[in-house]
């Protein structure tokens, strides 16, 4: 009988690597080095990385039994060069970002200073314009003037007994508000043009302008100046032979009496239109009487107190 051979797996195989062999020591060294790099990789800053290729060496051994698991020295140098190039780009972009951030901080501080200066100027301007924003009437006109006007300083003497004044009566605005002063100035300019058109019998243009003056005078919220425009409207209607409308305009223009020069002329026109004004009053009384005597329409409930008593 033949003696059975020992099983192939009972003892150590000839291809099995011993713990003390060179290949096992190489693998152990490499894994230990990789673990060391991986443990300290998260703590490495960009500036602490090496600038020169001497700091990194390729784990290349010519006697390595596993050449497919290692990288060649040429390939490692290419990776190292690419790494250093990318690292330099990252550092350059970081420096540029820091510079832009510092520049933005400087610009922001300058803008804050400029904004504070503008706010101070605006507060000062608002304080200065505060009395000019008021919508209260500051100067109430009076006519005739309680004190006669003194001759203007710019009067020129033509002869011994002749004197020509080159300046008109000083003009005062109703409001200190510049916006309302502009409205009032527009009203006075339009009225002056209407007066000139009436003298030249240009009634169509005068009627258009007086309506514009009434629209602007309504914004001033001062009844006498609106009544002054109504006076000139009555003058235009008088020349157009529209007697009833002219009488109503003159009647509504009475608040300008005692406030403007037109009030003195209005008194004469009210005397001329006395007949038409009486007719106007009579028609108004008739309308009021009709309104008070108007019976309630059908379908309305009449209170029992107002119903006639039954016999």
* Helices vs. strands in the chain: H and E counts, helices first: 8, 2
Beta bridge pairs of residue 157: 163
Whether residue 246 contacts residue 234, with contact meaning beta carbons closer than 8 Å, is answered with: yes
172-288 is classed in which CATH architecture?
A: Alpha Horseshoe (1.25)
User: CA 258 → CA 109, 195, 216, 263, 264, distances in Å?
Assistant: 62, 20, 22, 6, 8
How high is the pLDDT of residue 192? 95
Whether residue 220 contacts residue 184, with contact meaning beta carbons closer than 8 Å, is answered with: yes
d(CA 99, CA 1) in angstroms, rounded, equals 93
Residues whose CB falls within 8 Å of the CB of residue 296, separated by 6 or more in sequence, listed in order: 302
Which candidate, 258, 192, 195, 184, places its Cα nearest to that of 218?
184
Question: Which stretches of the chain are DSSP H helices?
Answer: 22-40, 73-129, 178-199, 203-220, 223-239, 243-252, 262-272, 274-293
d(CA 169, CA 150) in angstroms, rounded, equals 10
Q: What is the DSSP letter of 10?
A: T
Q: Phi and psi of 157, rounded to 5°?
A: -90, 125
Would you kindly state where each structural domain of the chain is located, as residue ranges? 48-60+67-133, 172-288
Place of tokens 């100035």: 185
- In order, the DSSP letters of 144-190 are S-SSPPPPPTT-EE-SSS-EE--S------S-S-HHHHHHHHHHHHH
- Based on its alpha-carbon atoms, the radius of gyration of the chain, rounded to whole angstroms, reads 53
Other CB atoms within a 10 A radius of the CB of residue 22 amount to 13
How high is the pLDDT of residue 147? 60
List the chain pLDDT tens, one digit each, 311 residues.
444 444 444 444 444 444 444 444 444 444 444 444 444 444 445 555 555 444 444 454 444 455 555 678 889 899 999 999 999 999 999 999 999 999 999 999 999 999 999 999 999 998 888 877 777 888 888 887 776 555 555 444 444 444 444 344 445 788 888 888 889 999 999 999 999 999 999 999 999 999 999 999 999 889 999 999 999 999 999 999 999 999 999 999 999 999 999 999 999 999 999 998 888 888 877 777 677 766 555 555 545 544 455 54
């Amino acid at each position: 009988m033949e003696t059975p051979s020992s099983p192939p797996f009972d003892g150590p195989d000839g291809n099995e690597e011993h713990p003390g062999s060179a290949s096992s020591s190489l693998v152990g060294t490499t894994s230990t080095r990789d673990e060391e790099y991986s443990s300290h990789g998260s703590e490495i800053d960009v500036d602490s990385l090496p600038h020169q290729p001497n700091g990194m060496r390729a784990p290349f051994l010519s006697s390595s039994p596993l050449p497919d698991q290692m990288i060649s020295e040429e390939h490692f140098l290419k990776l190292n060069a690419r790494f250093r190039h990318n690292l330099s780009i990252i550092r350059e972009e970081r420096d540029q970002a820091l510079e832009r951030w510092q520049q933005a901080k400087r610009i922001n501080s300058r803008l804050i200073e400029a904004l504070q200066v503008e706010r101070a100027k605006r507060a000062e301007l608002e304080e200065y314009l505060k009395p000019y924003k008021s919508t209260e009437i500051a100067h109430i006109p009076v006519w005739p003037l309680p004190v006669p006007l003194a001759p203007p300083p710019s009067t020129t003497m033509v002869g011994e007994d002749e004197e020509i004044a080159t300046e008109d009566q000083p003009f005062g605005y109703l409001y200190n508000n510049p916006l309302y002063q502009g409205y009032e100035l527009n009203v006075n300019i339009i009225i002056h043009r209407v007066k000139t058109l009436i003298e030249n019998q240009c009634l169509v243009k005068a009627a258009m302008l007086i309506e514009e003056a009434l629209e602007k005078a309504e914004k001033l919220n001062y009844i006498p100046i609106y009544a002054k425009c109504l006076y000139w409207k009555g003058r235009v209607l008088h020349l157009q032979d529209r007697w009833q409308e002219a009488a109503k305009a003159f009647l509504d223009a009475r608040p300008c009496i005692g406030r403007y020069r037109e009030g003195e002329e209005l008194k004469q026109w009210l005397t001329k239109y006395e007949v038409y004004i009486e007719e106007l009053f009579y028609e108004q009384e008739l309308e009021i009487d009709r309104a008070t005597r108007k019976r309630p329409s059908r379908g309305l409930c009449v209170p029992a107190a107002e119903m006639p008593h039954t016999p």
